[in-house]
Structure 1
């Protein structure tokens, strides 16, 4: 099995990096790696905070009861009786009353 490098293996890896990138580029490479790690950590922390906020919102929504539905005003009735769902116009009312 392949495990984490130990002792002398790190020295070999460091020697290969120096050969590939050169000694002058190592500080720049380290700075770039450090910036990338900081950005990665801040983004993952932001995602965790967003997930936590979302979970808190869901938990709050479960605890808070929904407001009671507003009541509708009573249905209008004219002198002939309750409406049957069709619109009455003055002409149709005159036909019924004579």
Structure 2
């Protein structure tokens, strides 16, 4: 299994840190147990031989479903653009 799936990121950083940049009034550490459970579930799929790109796509699809479920799809483009900018311009995501 890729280290990123075992630890959340390759550098052992809190995978929720990047979200605090967009909603700094929320303590995302409260979500860490749920995040770890979801990550473990997707890691099991990867261990069965599913390509990492497929697993990552499924994770992104789940995120889209969450935003739709809570009626927040209007917020998602801005959040994704900001996260993409952090990645593209090599600013730390977490």
**Taking structure 2 as the reference length, what is the TM-score of the superposition?**
0.28
**Taking structure 1 as the reference length, what is the TM-score of the superposition?**
0.27
Answer 1 or 2: which has greater strand percent: 1
- The structure with the largest alpha-carbon Rg is 1
Greater relative CO (CA pairs within 8 A, separation 6+): 2
